[in-house]
């Protein structure tokens, strides 16, 4: 059972390597959906509540470069538990469309493929925190990791994750593509290597195809 089959709202997540354009394009997508007459909640992970944003600060801060990978994993799910129960599910239950910048696929990509935590451990925490709730759709902004990091670094200061070697981000991109292949009905891939206009033309087409917008 996904979130929307029981309720009226819709849950859409956005994934990709750093700098792939999620944040830029979520705003664009939110405008389009709002024009379609739907009420929207725009949120992000880790984050989305006061407590989860405080956890996010711990996670991305360069003050903790040696954070243990299991601590990182548990903090991701602690932030998610709070966010899911106090923001995402109430919004979906109220018929709103939730647009979330990253969700649990990021955990499989970063903590799983990137850090090397076995998938069954992530799956156990996913079940504990989410039960059977998953996004209805996931837009994957697929981009060469080096180009994405370059775009992210052009924006200014980097965070704890962005300090990682390029091999880490290549594994993450590969994992996202694997996840997309294994769950085709949920995933939609946007080729993010092009200029913004071209990327947004792909988005327009996807919104028409799957959401009738």
Q: Which is nearer to ligand Z5A, 8 or 201 (CB)?
A: 201
Residue 20 within binding range of ligand Z5A, rule CB under 6 A: yes
Residue 196 within binding range of ligand Z5A, rule CB under 6 A: yes
Residue 142 within binding range of ligand Z5A, rule CB under 6 A: no
Taking the C-alpha atoms of residue 17 and residue 84, their distance in angstroms, rounded to an integer, is: 23
Residue 2 within binding range of ligand Z5A, rule CB under 6 A: no
Residue 28 within binding range of ligand Z5A, rule CB under 6 A: no
| Shortest reach from residue 212's CB to ligand Z5A, in Å | 25
Choices 31-39, 63-71, 152-160, 176-184; region in contact with ligand Z5A by CB under 6 A: 152-160
Q: Largest alpha-carbon pair distance within the chain?
A: 46
Residue 173 within binding range of ligand Z5A, rule CB under 6 A: no
Tokens representing 21 are 């354009």
Residues 6+ away with beta carbon under 8 Å from 30: 40, 42, 99
CB-based contacts of 65-70 (< 8 A; 24+ apart in sequence): 65/160, 65/163, 67/160, 69/111, 69/115, 69/116, 69/117, 70/117
Taking the C-alpha atoms of residue 109 and residue 21, their distance in angstroms, rounded to an integer, is: 17
Interface residue with ligand Z5A among 41, 89, 106, 189 (CB under 6 A) is 106
Classify each residue of 158-169 as buried b or exposed e, where b means 16 or more C-beta atoms within 10 Å of its C-beta: eebbeebeeebb
Choices 5-13, 87-95, 107-115, 117-125; region in contact with ligand Z5A by CB under 6 A: 107-115
Residue 48 within binding range of ligand Z5A, rule CB under 6 A: no
Tokens representing 155 are 């924006």
Angle, CA 162 vertex, CA 12 and CA 150 arms, to 5°: 90
| Shortest reach from residue 136's CB to ligand Z5A, in Å | 18
Interface residue with ligand Z5A among 4, 10, 13, 18 (CB under 6 A) is 18
Residues that bind ligand Z5A (CB under 6 A): 16, 18-24, 44-46, 60, 76, 101-102, 106-107, 110-111, 151-152, 155, 159, 161-162, 192, 195-196, 199
């Amino acid at each position: 059972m996904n979130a929307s089959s029981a309720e009226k709202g819709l849950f859409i997540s956005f994934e990709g390597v750093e700098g792939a354009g999620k944040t830029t394009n979520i705003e664009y997508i939110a405008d389009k959906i709002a024009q379609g007459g739907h009420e929207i909640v725009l949120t992000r992970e880790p984050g989305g509540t006061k407590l989860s944003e405080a956890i996010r600060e711990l996670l991305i801060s360069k003050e903790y470069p040696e954070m243990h990978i299991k601590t990182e994993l548990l903090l991701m799910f602690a932030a998610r538990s709070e966010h899911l129960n106090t923001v995402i599910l109430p919004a979906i239950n109220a018929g709103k469309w939730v647009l979330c910048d990253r969700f649990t696929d990021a955990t499989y990509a970063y903590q799983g493929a990137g850090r090397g935590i076995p998938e069954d451990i992530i799956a156990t925490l996913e079940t504990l925190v989410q039960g059977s709730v998953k996004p209805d759709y996931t837009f994957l902004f697929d981009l060469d990791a080096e180009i994405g990091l370059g775009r992210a670094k052009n924006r200014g200061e980097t965070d704890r994750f962005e300090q990682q070697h390029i091999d880490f981000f290549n594994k993450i991109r590969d994992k996202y593509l694997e996840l997309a292949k294994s769950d085709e009905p949920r995933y939609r891939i946007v080729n993010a290597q092009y200029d913004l206009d071209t990327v947004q033309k792909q988005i327009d087409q996807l919104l028409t195809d799957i959401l009738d917008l």
